[in-house]
Amino acid sequence: MGFRVRRAPLLEVGRRHWWSSAPATEIADELNALLRDPEVRAIIAHDGGQTVLGYLDLIDVEAIRADPKPILGYSDIAMLHLVLYSRTGLVGFHADLAMPGFGEAWQAAPAARRRVLEDVYSVLLTGPEAIGTLPTGPSWECWRAGRAEGPLIGGLLNRIVRTQATRFALPLDWFDGAVLFWEEMGGEASWVWSDLHVLRHCGILDRIAGMVVGVPRAIGGLGSSDGSPTLPEIVLDVLGDRDVPVLGNVEFGHAGPNLPMPVGIRAGLDAAQRTLSLLEPTVRPRT
């Protein structure tokens, strides 16, 4: 796509500390060095994993305020986006990771799809204008009709829940009129149902204007022959009679290759027409 790429030091082959490449303090040091480096104009996470909770309190937020730069990734990185958005207002890109995304899912996708995604990512990362309507996929489904317009907030469902349990949680009023997007990977259908009820109990579902749900991956007990619920049934059961339009089976997160979902950008949703639009630019020229 024309970008110059530099590999960060912790990508050295063979590095390992428990389930990560290094202790959380070393990962924080590397991230902070990238945030402070004026030559680094964007940061793409190599993979997701289980590390962000260990360094949320070690991030140099002043470096972000002084020199904002896009951070791309999903899965565990979803928590990073939400916390940095809460602390600094930085737009985070819930978008493809380097290895399972650009390195695998993109290579397996049809050439035409890759070209569409390249255009979307290029405009989002370098363009001063709003991209408008995102390219619709054949899997998209209207689970509840309606329209909504508001800030796009979300990520991996279990990371949304965990973020809201920390001192870096988004204030509840930030969800007023928001378009909540979420996806889930692994676990059980009952866990999804439970996490959505957490969002109900803490008041988020009473505040949002719309919902976009990603394609589920490896979730046990979804729509099986024993009478287990489908994902639309779970979502609508928890929403109850709330007048919230829902667009489902959208290709972001673990479903890859990803449509990027920039946290904090104003979005327009028309569930019946199966459209999702980004109504603001995600970056601004350096001054």
| 240 shares a domain with 137 | yes
Q: Structural domain tally of the chain?
A: 2
Q: For residue 33, what pLDDT is reported?
A: 98
| 141 shares a domain with 81 | no
The β-bridge partners of 263 are 92
| 207 shares a domain with 76 | no
Q: For residue 99, what pLDDT is reported?
A: 93
Element (H, E) at 78: helix 77-88
| 161 shares a domain with 96 | no
| 86 shares a domain with 18 | yes
- Buried b / exposed e over 164-183, threshold 16 CB at 10 Å, is beeebbbeeebbeebbbbbb
| 139 shares a domain with 271 | yes
Question: What pLDDT digit, counting tens, does each position of 188-213 carry?
Answer: 999 999 999 999 999 999 999 999 99
Burial class from Cβ neighbours inside 10 Å (0-12, 13-18, 19+) for residue 132 reads exposed
Q: For residue 287, what pLDDT is reported?
A: 66
| CATH code, domain carrying 69 | 3.40.50.10740
| CATH code, domain carrying 161 | 3.50.30.60
Strand arrangement of the beta sheet that strand 132-133 belongs to: 132-133, 275-278, 266-270, 147-156, 179-183, 210-214, 246-250, 141-144
Is residue 285 assigned to a domain?
A: no
Contact between 257 and 117 under an 8 Å Cβ cutoff? The reply is yes
Query: What is the chain's pLDDT, residue by residue, as a tens digit (287 residues)?
Result: 889 999 999 998 889 999 999 999 999 999 999 999 999 999 999 999 999 999 999 999 999 999 999 999 999 999 999 999 999 999 999 999 999 999 999 999 999 999 999 999 999 999 999 999 999 999 999 999 999 999 999 999 999 999 999 999 999 999 999 999 999 999 999 999 999 999 999 999 999 999 999 999 999 999 777 888 999 999 999 999 999 999 999 999 998 899 999 999 999 999 999 999 999 999 987 76
| 193 shares a domain with 88 | no
| 140 shares a domain with 270 | yes
| 138 shares a domain with 266 | yes
Is residue 226 assigned to a domain?
A: yes
Is residue 2 assigned to a domain?
A: no
Is residue 3 assigned to a domain?
A: no
- 3-class SS letters over 89-131: CCCEEECCCHHHHHHHHHHHCCHHHHHHHHHHHHHHHHCCCCC
| 146 shares a domain with 18 | no
pTM: 0.96
Domain that holds residue 65: 10-101
- Buried b / exposed e over 244-270, threshold 16 CB at 10 Å, is bbbbbbbbbbbbbbbbbbbbbbbbbbb
